[in-house]
């Protein structure tokens, strides 16, 4: 079973890479500047925050849940953290990042408690908290806007700086993805998320603390969104109550397109990040090719439907293969 799932995962991620290469090739043939150094850096920067959010979303989706509040959590964290930097310009950057993570973790813990302990469907819970957290953001902002001139230079330098020509935000995203990937595949608590998504009832019978794992998954999703909020402030400088609006749909689309089964139990954070890169690249390519915005949304929707259909086909084929093997063993 593990071998089959690993094979399916590799084929899916290879397909994303091939599609990504095809999009880049076609666009570069029409406009060679699309693959220039500055263009690639901008593309990676535009992808970084969405790819970062896919890390927490992947953990949640693996358990057969979804977190629709990540965009609102990012916005709330961005405004509160930026406000803290305005009031305390001498605040160390690591402390500011930790503050954003704590805000996000608190929001994630609320989502997790309602889903895991209250047993309310995650779609209902996070759809509700999407509006609650955004409402709190508007109430706190009171129509005000924080501008780049109000923020300390150290924070803005982190948002626009580079190390060996690689933007800091991209490096931070890669580190978080690497940590999550190692945890999911190298530690029991990570592998249990797959078990919960594959068969929740069997996971309970196997002694897995399902409620606690689901709660932690939402907490991680919130914490990552809180970190992304601080990085949003560093990246854009200007922060208001609308920061991150609509990001949740981009994140869920990237996760599903990246091979994380919407039904839970399979997928990787690496694939989800590649899904974010593919969608961002397609959007940029369509702009370069001067294709109307309608087609950008239509293509994203088509990719999402195709990814869900592919997940279902793969699941059915794996199940059929396992049934044939089990009959062969019993014979």
**CATH annotation of 2-322:** 1.10.3470
Retrieve residue 281's tokens: 């690249």
Cα(199)–Cα(213) distance, rounded to whole angstroms?
14
Retrieve residue 240's tokens: 């208001």
Residue with tokens 């919960």: 196
- pLDDT digit of tens for each residue in the chain (331 aa)? 444 455 555 666 777 888 888 888 888 888 888 888 888 888 898 899 999 999 999 999 999 999 999 999 999 999 999 999 999 888 899 999 999 999 999 999 999 999 999 999 999 999 999 999 999 999 998 888 888 888 888 888 888 888 888 889 999 999 999 999 999 988 898 899 988 988 888 888 888 889 999 999 999 999 999 999 999 999 998 889 888 888 998 899 899 888 888 887 788 899 899 989 988 888 888 888 887 767 777 777 777 777 677 666 665 665 566 466 556 555 4
Retrieve residue 7's tokens: 């094979």
Q: Which residues of 29-42 are buried (b: 16+ CB within 10 A; e: fewer)?
A: eeeeebeeeebeee
How many C-beta atoms lie closer than 10 Å to residue 242's C-beta? Answer: 14
């Amino acid at each position: 079973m593990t071998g089959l799932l690993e094979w399916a995962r590799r084929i899916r991620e290879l397909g994303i890479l091939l599609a990504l290469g095809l999009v880049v090739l076609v666009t570069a043939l029409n406009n060679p500047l699309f693959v220039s150094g500055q263009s690639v850096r901008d593309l990676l920067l535009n992808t970084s925050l969405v790819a970062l959010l896919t890390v927490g979303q992947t953990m949640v989706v693996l358990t057969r849940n979804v977190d629709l509040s990540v965009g609102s959590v990012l916005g709330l964290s961005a405004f509160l953290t930026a406000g803290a930097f305005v009031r305390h310009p001498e605040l160390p950057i690591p402390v500011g990042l930790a503050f954003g993570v704590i805000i996000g973790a608190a929001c994630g813990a609320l989502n997790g408690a309602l889903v895991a302990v209250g047993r309310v469907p995650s779609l209902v819970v996070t759809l509700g908290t999407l509006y609650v957290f955004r409402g709190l953001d508007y109430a706190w902002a009171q129509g005000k806007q924080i501008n780049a001139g109000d923020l300390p230079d150290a924070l803005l330098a982190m948002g626009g700086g580079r190390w060996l020509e690689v933007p800091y935000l991209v490096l931070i995203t890669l580190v978080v993805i690497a940590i999550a990937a190692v945890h999911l595949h190298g530690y029991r608590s990570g592998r249990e998320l797959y078990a919960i998504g594959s068969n929740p009832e069997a996971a309970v019978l196997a002694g897995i603390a399902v409620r606690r794992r689901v709660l932690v998954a939402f907490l991680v999703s919130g914490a990552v969104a809180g970190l992304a909020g601080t990085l949003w402030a560093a990246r854009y400088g200007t922060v208001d109550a609308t920061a991150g609006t609509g990001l949740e749909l981009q994140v869920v689309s990237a996760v599903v397109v990246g091979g994380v089964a919407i039904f839970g139990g399979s997928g990787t954070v690496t694939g989800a990040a590649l899904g974010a890169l593919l969608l961002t690249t397609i959007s940029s390519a369509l702009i370069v090719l001067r294709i109307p915005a309608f087609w950008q949304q239509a293509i994203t929707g088509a990719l999402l439907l195709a990814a869900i259909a592919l997940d279902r086909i793969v699941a059915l084929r794996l199940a059929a293969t396992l049934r044939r093997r089990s009959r062969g063993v019993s014979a």
